[in-house]
Structure 1
């Protein structure tokens, strides 16, 4: 194994080499900056390792002194990647918040995958329409990985799966579950309706998780027999768009009690993934 790179001690909060780690607390700025530079940030030692295991390429590592020893094996595998380190106070000045999850790494964004690529061999698919909360999206990816969903498709307006908070909440499962994004500009509905029709053409039955007059319970017998099923999740608040609902084959709902009308979208997704999982060979 190659000797790891020598850590670079940071003594200046304005060091231009750490520009990509600045202003982490400003979500809007980060989304623009990450996209412009073709990077994403992996946060926590575990997530960094999962990103590397998925074959993603690091540009640099960024961590406080106390985490250097535990990451030596990673640095040795990537001896040409700079390792920036410093005191907790110095790193907090650079990032704008206290680092308490171990290492950060700036990673090259992988090439986008096509819808056809992520659907190859898939039996259960999640369609995420206009969901903007990164915590919810990360939780959905984690449930998708745990409960047998094969792929995630996102509308053009949905949140970025490679945003730092989404990655962290997903525990790195955004690297595990294949995902793609419907192209914007295909349709006033940002590709969701054409996407639903494309899924149907490929043999998927498409069900929207939405409480409507025609909604059936998740455990409806005919859904258990479906070979290829796509589940549409709507945005926080408005839910699934009407045009998308009109295009779907089914509307499904979770039976509720105690006067509760709905669950958070991430919690509802986990329930639906389990009930609608593929059964048999």
Structure 2
């Protein structure tokens, strides 16, 4: 399944706590004590099954190509991704409010990480990403998410447009966030939002594709002022998830 890089002691702790398996560690010596419990948990070290490489700051920079200001990296094994149906069944086995975020071709890893953080903070249940969406386990995505990419259930939708129809067959209303003459104000939509809701967000700049918009049950817009027509996709996801949160959230 390949590897990904977890950066910083806190992100490494969250990844290991979520059950992800490390292949190796690279860090400055001063982080050995801080990460001691994690290293012991995964049998890492000189006599363990997982190697730990220690170097000074200059050597770390030469190896990684950047200043490792948080002092520690871990090469982690990627966990297998669940099929969409299996993931959805796991996060909403019964009745009740369910919020799933769907990302179409988001290219900026910072935005992907920020969206995952909002999903975790505002009580949404899962993230589904299109085949061309930026990798949630890319180092910058992981760092910006503060490790929430390890805690939020997510997977890729191999059949992108057919996948939106599959969500509808699972009882979800598919709501596309975007502008248009037929779009509904977010406040109005939130007052009578369905229990099972899939919120679809599009790529930076162009937004959702015509095919994705055509596959949606409803188009929802966030009211704007000051001559601004839209928000950054990460900010828009936070606003929408806040408006559509369950009463038990926050």
Counterpart secondary structure, 1:118: helix
- In the TM superposition, residue 222 of structure 1 has moved relative to its aligned partner by 6.8
Answer yes or no: is 1:150 the counterpart of 2:125: yes
Could you say which residue in structure 2 is the equivalent of 1:237? Answer: 205
Residue 135 of structure 2 is matched in structure 1 by: 160
Query: Is this contact kept in 2: 1:141–1:170, CA < 8 A?
Result: yes
Q: How does 1:130-145 map to 2 (within 5 A)?
A: 130-145=105-120
Pick aligned residue for 1:78 from 42, 50, 62: 42
C-alpha deviation, 1:225, in angstroms: 4.0
Among 87, 108, 118, which residue is 2:87 paired with? Answer: 118
Q: Deviations over 1:223-271 (max 9, x none)?
A: 6341100000000011001111111011001111111111110001100
1-structure distance, mates of 2:227, 2:24: 51
Q: Deviations for 1:91-120, whole angstroms, at most 9, x for unmatched residues?
A: 111111111012110111101111012212
The number of residue pairs the alignment matches comes to 238
Alignment partner, residue 260 of structure 1: 228
- Long gaps (5+) in structure 2: 93-97
List per-residue Cα deviations over 1:31-71 (Å, max 9, x = no partner): xxxx7xx1111001000000000001011111011212211
Task: Give ranges in structure 1 of 5+ residues lacking alignment.
Answer: 1-34, 184-190
TM-score (norm 2): 0.91
When residues 259 and 109 of structure 1 are mapped into structure 2, their CA distance, relative to the original with a 3 A threshold, is: same
**Aligned residue number for residue 224 of structure 1:** 192
Write the distance in 2 (CA, Å) between the matches of 1:263 and 1:195.
Answer: 26
Aligned match of 1:210: 178
* Larger gyration radius, structure 1 or structure 2: 1
